[in-house]
Chains A and B, each alone.
Chain A
């Protein structure tokens, strides 16, 4: 993975740039000590590291604007950072950049149940947004696995999803407005408590732009009333194909589960060894969760069981209690940890049409044999968002490169069958060089023109998302 060489002129002006930032920010909001900036050298894609020039940790929109204005005037690249949980390297620094961390912007600004929204500062963690409204019976729907740690700023930047988006959508479907600081320090308000845009839908393109169009400091989020209850059923099958067909049949039948999760045999075995959730020993299992009143749940689960029975399941386990529900989810929730016990792993995130599930799983199995690397599959089957986990040994020379090549082949396969490179993690640096697989030059050009408008000098998170050769001229200008 190449990153552009740092700008030597910026590196040589470090002291001057830092003192200019110190002049407009509180003492403790600017970090330039090498030992302290090291804490910001990577995100959750920890194979890639680089300490930044400096780190700023503002406490207000005004301080964000002041910092950006200086970086803009000095021509210094800025990498915005939420909680640093990106799996795609979205917050990876360059040596000549200032990291702008929003972690101190963590307050709830307004909760409004009558109009069903909450306004928060963007450094607030995803789970603590729900935490702020939970006691009153409400929740914020997008629930990425990292929700305990990840910030709303990063959720907006990556348009994060989660296990429950089959019913509730992803971040962009639950985002009503943002306060955005542009690279030149201009503060703009986009959207608000009302629905949809009056002019062009700028909110829609800001969400998922990976911190390249501006720094979001506040967000207005839709909150929903919690359902009366929820219960899962676990269904085991003797083949991936049959499990895939069952997913399709459930969807067609008119049930809209909140989640349909899929695990294959390698993943089931690993989680059993690790978490002892009592999963059946089978080729594939589904966890299907539905919501509503007790009677509504019974009705929906009844229908799902009826559909599943047509596919000869080896196991059909309906949760009867809170405890049993927890047990069914236990294995799924510890799947990543379990795979991590076996070896280092790389987690992919391609999405495919649900109809292609059986074919893609078979091909991944074949490729796994060709590459000599094991893969476990655990993913959101209802919406086709796969998460193949490729196991490798970081200490074995060449294994990481082999794993990356295998991963690239899987993502190419996702695109071939009509899907995409990333369903919820984002492009970052990880999938940057594969963008040409999915997009023609004109497609990428259209996207880069949007950045030209918001950030004409290409200073915000500049070496991400687009292949470096496609952006070279713009970054140099």
Chain B
């Protein structure tokens, strides 16, 4: 099914007699495999409002991400949270939709400074499992009117409702950018260096360890970028040799690759994504036995590639945070819970919310466990 508008989508959900597999661009095949009729949002397209002077954009959920980014770029603006394109990593074809980005709460390296997708998201419209159309939030960036279902829907992977329209706070694209590179660091030193950088006043908008080098991004007005790059170079000198890489195209290309985790994507194997306290990361990866690792978010986000079928949670034992199995065969994703199992009281709340928003249990049933 590929409804052409919100009311047709609501009608399709009301008329559904069995499970529905909700699909945006199909670039994020994550979670327990869902058996059900495919319900595509690709028919709901178009930017419905864009006001550069108010830093606001509203679009229908099926709008391709590329179209939104191009429209914003034409006015010198962008989505602050740097949405990743995991198509290559996950071996998926298709074009990412903005609704899919929201459903996955997918955020790139800039998350440490600008917040996650859920932090830029200021409004949603969605159809719940009963076919009711619900709106929450709106198009203004400060809004505490009623409960914040906007955040609840972000990262709900289509299990509470099918998004039909999303609103964002956007930001200007800075004039200039640079990458400060600290070569040849082990994980422990890398995380310490990233903590020093992100704990400085120099506004680091990306902090990645690629398994060898530490990469720090700074953005802003040209002179300010040069100043901060200089200060960071001094700050990191005790860790080793530091280089500064400049030039918009070079910097952007490097960070797009880090954002999309391309280094882990090319080789077969299962890929896990863990959110942890940054200083815990070196200890955790030491127990992973991973074939390849990338740390983002100053160490708070671990990407790891392991042999197919590995239960990484078993290997690392109890830890504070959560681990998601991002890439694996459907058999493995059916056997190992892709989403972190939650303590009983939280699981009960989540189950309670799903039962309220989707009483028939037809929206991506079981996808999140």
Interface residues of A (CB under 8 A from B): 112-116, 137-138, 158-159, 161, 165, 169-170, 172-173, 182, 186, 188-190, 192-205, 207-209, 225-228, 248-249, 251-256, 292-293, 295-296, 299-300, 351-355, 380, 383-385, 418-427, 431, 435, 438-440, 442-447, 449-454, 465-466
> Closest residue of chain A to B117, judged by CB?
A196
Contacts of A384 in B (CB 8 A): 54, 140-142
**Minimum CB–CB distance for B351 against chain A, Å:** 9
- Chain B contacts with A in 191-245, Cβ cutoff 8 A: 192, 195, 198-201, 220-221, 223-224, 227
How many inter-chain residue pairs (CB < 8 Å) link A and B?
267
B247 on the A face (CB < 8 A) = no
Asked whether, in the complex, the Cβ of A190 is within 8 Å of the Cβ of B199, the reply is no
User: What are 13 pairs between A and B in contact, CB < 8 Å?
Assistant: A116-B199, A195-B111, A197-B105, A197-B322, A198-B321, A198-B322, A202-B349, A204-B151, A383-B140, A442-B132, A446-B136, A447-B149, A453-B353
What is the minimal beta-carbon distance from A184 to any residue of chain B, in angstroms?
Answer: 10
Q: Chain B's nearest CB lies how many Å from the CB of A253?
A: 7
Q: Are B148 and A208 in contact (CB under 8 A)?
A: yes
Contact A423 B144 (CB under 8 A): yes
Nearest CB in chain B: distance from A359 CB, A: 13
Q: Which of A138, A248, A254 contacts B172 (CB 8 A)?
A: A254
Residues 30-65 (chain B) with a chain A CB within 8 angstroms: 51-56
What CA separation (Å) do A225 and B228 show in the bound complex?
14
Max count, chain B CB within 10 A of own CB: residue among A204, A444, A466? A204
Q: Could you tell me the distance between the alpha carbons of A10 and B356 in the complex, rounded to whole angstroms?
A: 30
B148 in contact with A202 (CB, 8 Å): no
Q: Which 5 A-B pairs have the closest CB atoms?
A: A204-B151, A198-B322, A248-B53, A423-B142, A254-B172
Chain B residues with Cβ under 8 A from A353's Cβ?
A: 51, 54, 56, 139-140
A-chain residues with CB within 8 Å of residue B151 when the two chains form the complex: 172, 201, 203-205, 207
How far, in whole Å, are A450 and B199 apart by their CA atoms in the complex? 37
- Identity of the chain B residue whose Cβ is nearest the Cβ of A187 in the assembled complex: B345
**Contact in complex: B174, A422 (CB < 8 Å):** no
A209, B147: Cβ atoms closer than 8 Å: yes
Bound CA–CA A449/B150 (angstroms): 15
Task: Return chain A residues, CB-CB under 8 Å to B339.
Answer: 198-199
- How many angstroms from the CA of A98 to the CA of B7 in the assembled complex? 45
Binary CB contact string for chain B from 133 to 169 against chain A (1 if under 8 A, 0 otherwise): 1111011111111111111101110011000000000
B346 pairs with A296, CB closer than 8 A: no
A427 touching B146 by the CB < 8 A rule? Answer: yes
Nearest A residue to B111, CB-CB: A195
CB-CB nearest in chain B for A205 = B152
Name the A residues within 8 Å of B347 (CB-CB): 199
How far is the CB of B80 from the nearest CB of chain A, in Å? 10
Q: Is the CB of A453 within 8 A of B352?
A: yes
Residue of B nearest to A245 (CB): B53
Contact present for A114 and B199 (CB under 8 Å): yes
Q: B119 touching A159 by the CB < 8 A rule?
A: no
Residues in B whose Cβ lies below 8 Å from that of A351 = 140-143
Known contacts A225-B200, A248-B53, A292-B224; is-contact A423 B119 (Cβ 8 Å):
no
Partner of A161, one of B142, B277, B368: B142
| Minimum CB–CB distance for A302 against chain B, Å | 10
Partner of B342, one of A170, A199, A256, A422: A199
- For the A-B complex with A202-B350, A296-B220, A447-B146 known, give 18 more contacts whose Cβ atoms are closer than 8 Å: A159-B148, A173-B119, A188-B345, A190-B346, A194-B276, A195-B111, A199-B340, A200-B368, A203-B151, A205-B147, A207-B151, A295-B227, A353-B54, A427-B146, A438-B145, A447-B149, A453-B352, A454-B349
Cα distance A204–B137 in the bound complex, in angstroms: 13
CA distance A168 to B226 in the complex (A): 23
Q: Which of A165, A228, A355, A450 contacts B51 (CB 8 A)?
A: A355
Q: Is B12 an interface residue (CB 8 A)?
A: no
Chain A proximity of B192: nearest CB distance (Å): 8
> How far, in angstroms, from A296 to B227 measured CA to CA in the complex?
9
Among the listed A165, A204, A421, A425, which residue makes an inter-chain contact with B118, where contact means beta carbons less than 8 Å apart?
Answer: A204
B36, chain A: closest CB distance, angstroms = 20
Residue of A292, A352, A438, A452 ringed by the most chain B CB atoms within 10 A: A292
Bound form: Cα–Cα A449–B201 in Å: 43
Which residues on A sit within 8 Å (CB–CB) of B279?
112, 114-115
Q: Give the complex CA separation of A440 and B135 in angstroms.
A: 8
Give the Cβ gap from A308 to chain B, nearest Cβ, in Å.
Answer: 15
Question: Is there an interface contact between B278 and A208, defined as CB atoms closer than 8 Å?
Answer: no
Q: How far, in whole Å, are A201 and B199 apart by their CA atoms in the complex? A: 26
When C-beta atoms are compared, the residue in chain B nearest to A176 turns out to be: B277
- Hey, which chain B residues are within 8 Å of A165, CB to CB? 142
Q: Point out the residue from B139, B146, B223, B323 that lies within 8 Å of A465, measured CB to CB.
A: B146
Return chain B residues, CB-CB under 8 Å to A449: 353, 356-357
A112 to B223 CA separation, bound complex (whole angstroms): 32
User: With contacts A295-B227, A383-B141 known, is A172 near B175, CB below 8 A?
Assistant: no
> A194-B277, A200-B155, A207-B148 known; A169 and B343 CB under 8 Å?
no
Chain A: minimal CB distance from B304 (Å):
15
Nearest-neighbour CB distance to chain A for B97, whole angstroms, equals: 20
Q: How far is the CB of A323 from chain B (nearest CB, A)?
A: 23
